[in-house]
Amino acid sequence: MLEKFLNIFRIPDLRKRVLFTLGILAVYRLGAFIPTPGVNTHQLELLFNAQSGSALGLMDLFGGGNLRRMTIFALGIMPYITASIIFQLLTVVYEPLARIQKEGELGRRKITQWTRYMTVVLGALQSIGIAAILTKQGLVLHPGIGFSLMTVLTLTTGTAFIMWLGEQITDRGIGNGMSLLIFAGIIAGLPRGVADLVGKVQTSAWGSLTIFAVLLLAVGMIAVVAFIVFVERSERRIPIQSARRIVGRRMMGGSSSHLPLKVNSGGVMPVIFASSILSAPLLFGQMEWVQSNRFFQPIIQALQPGYPWYETLYVLGIIFFAYFYVSIVMKPDDIADNFRKSGSFIPGIRPGKRTSDFINDILTRITLVGAIYLIIISLVPTFLISGIRFDKLFLVGRFFESLPTWATHGLGVNFYFGGTSLLIVVGVAMDTVNQIESQLIMRHYDGFSPRSGRIRGRKNW
């Protein structure tokens, strides 16, 4: 294994890519310690400690702790993710934009450029909201128009710089830049989560069974990681037969292969998209006039993580974005057309429309399985960490008041041990390892896996 790891640094191009990626991540983490001028960071830290399991904790998770410390990277990549969602939705419902996307590389560059502009606009709007909230909460050392302008300029510039860092990793490094930035932020927060667990053991926060509860939590985390790896490697293989044809005096073709369809083609993106959309009401709900409004206040309260309506919308969002992402990545009509052009076919299925419908039906089924997997990974740890407050349901809440406290309010474990963070960490790590392995195999080196040098799917659905 050590020999295979050293092969990475023996290839000049791959070594440069890996070192470049590590350098960009170091710059990103360096910015996490540069505070925004004029903010009382100590009081802000106390506020986040009091709301660690709320939507504030969720946004701080994706920001790698930057929002908690109100650094220059406090907004993280959430504005970029939101802008990407907006334009991906528009390419489906807005025909002129869909035609631009089909123009090839030039069209994709146009959409990417517009996404950057939208990111800056969203970053500026969120910065204005954050400046207003900090002023209202009394977390500003010297409030005024000067502080507001400085905050908007600092946070918007930080968001644009993070977007540039992510694009540089994608173009010149290894892996998906935006996902790696989220990965780096979560990994940086894990020591704080471990320290929190150690503190619970030392103070016996859960009584005499604290040690056993921590051991059970560790075993559960290992089981969740194993389950994530198992499903992420699973795929549905469709057999493909190529037709025989005569080329000159030789008979060509007639070979058989397969079309691999991953169970979770969207990876962690459906979870990130759903979380990004549902975190949007946070800034709106922190405004003073919203908190005092009799109409908006119960709605904002119901959209807090751990509440039934939030979890319901979270589940629906994951399902929607799982199918939406697959519809962008996998196009059955194009696959069937490529089969027809190459003289390949699926045994027992007619070429053309029947082949497209057959692939579409399989994608529909396995995508549902992948969405259910994402829901389980995201909700089960949430149920144990912060609980699901069924007792807050309108009209029928009293029916659930007899539930134990751990079911409605959780065990209070640190947010970094949630299923969302584990899913992102494991998913991004596997994707990065796959890319490094493909680079090694392309240069005739063995990959990381012991037998064939490739990470393959081990389960057929």
Residue range 247-260, pLDDT digits in tens:
566 656 567 788 88
- Mean pLDDT of the 363-369 span: 91
Residue range 429-444, pLDDT digits in tens:
888 888 888 777 776 6
Residue range 123-142, pLDDT digits in tens:
998 888 888 878 877 788 88
What is the C-alpha separation between 399 and 86, in angstroms, rounded? 40
What is the C-alpha separation between 278 and 296, in angstroms, rounded? 16
pLDDT exceeds 60 at position 222: yes
- Mean pLDDT of the 237-265 span: 75
Domain final position from 205, 238, 262 = 205
Same domain for 91 and 147, yes or no, is: yes
pLDDT exceeds 60 at position 455: no
SS (H, E, C) 433-460: HHHHHHHHHHCCCCCCCCCCCCCCCCCE
Same domain for 112 and 256, yes or no, is: no
Confidence of residue 268 (pLDDT cuts 50, 70, 90): confident
Same domain for 93 and 241, yes or no, is: no
Same domain for 215 and 201, yes or no, is: no
Same domain for 199 and 214, yes or no, is: no
Average pLDDT taken over every residue of the chain: 78
pLDDT of residue 458: 43
pLDDT exceeds 50 at position 57: yes
Lowest mean pLDDT among 15-29, 164-178, 198-212, 274-288: 274-288
Lowest mean pLDDT among 19-23, 85-89, 128-132, 240-244: 240-244
What is the C-alpha separation between 107 and 359, in angstroms, rounded? 27
Residue with tokens 């500003």: 140
Same domain for 109 and 199, yes or no, is: yes
pLDDT of residue 289: 64
Q: Where are the alpha helices (DSSP H) in 51-144?
A: 55-62, 66-69, 78-93, 95-101, 105-136
- Mean pLDDT of the 345-359 span: 87
For residue 360, the enclosing domain spans 210-461
Which secondary structure element, helix H or strand E, spans residue 217, and what is its range? helix 210-233
Confidence of residue 312 (pLDDT cuts 50, 70, 90): confident
Residues 6 or more apart whose CB falls under 8 angstroms from that of 62 comprise 76, 77, 78, 182, 185, 272, 275, 276
Residue range 143-196, pLDDT digits in tens:
888 888 999 999 999 999 999 999 999 888 888 888 888 888 888 777 777 777
Same domain for 306 and 384, yes or no, is: yes
pLDDT: which is higher, 275 or 154: 154
Confidence of residue 460 (pLDDT cuts 50, 70, 90): very low
pLDDT exceeds 70 at position 316: yes
Residue with tokens 């830049």: 177
What is the C-alpha separation between 415 and 417, in angstroms, rounded? 5
pLDDT exceeds 70 at position 283: no
Helix (H, G, I), strand (E, B) or coil at 248: coil
Structure tokens at 424: 């992102």
pLDDT of residue 424: 80
Residue 35 DSSP class? B
Helix (H, G, I), strand (E, B) or coil at 65: coil
Same domain for 381 and 396, yes or no, is: yes
What is the C-alpha separation between 60 and 37, in angstroms, rounded? 19
pLDDT: which is higher, 338 or 242: 338
CB atoms within 10 A of CB 27: 12
Residue 261 DSSP class? E
Same domain for 239 and 376, yes or no, is: yes
pLDDT of residue 165: 92
Backbone φ and ψ of 350, nearest 5°: -70, 145
Quote the number of domains for the chain: 2
Same domain for 293 and 184, yes or no, is: no
What is the C-alpha separation between 291 and 286, in angstroms, rounded? 7
pLDDT of residue 456: 45
pLDDT exceeds 50 at position 339: yes
Highest mean pLDDT among 311-315, 369-373, 405-409: 369-373
Beta carbons of 322 and 374 less than 8 angstroms apart: yes
pLDDT of residue 117: 93
pLDDT of residue 430: 82
Residue with tokens 């400046």: 131
- Mean pLDDT of the 347-353 span: 85
CATH classification at residue 234: 1.10.3370.10
Structure tokens at 419: 């299923």
% of the chain exceeding 90 in pLDDT: 11
Same domain for 171 and 220, yes or no, is: no
What is the C-alpha separation between 226 and 220, in angstroms, rounded? 10
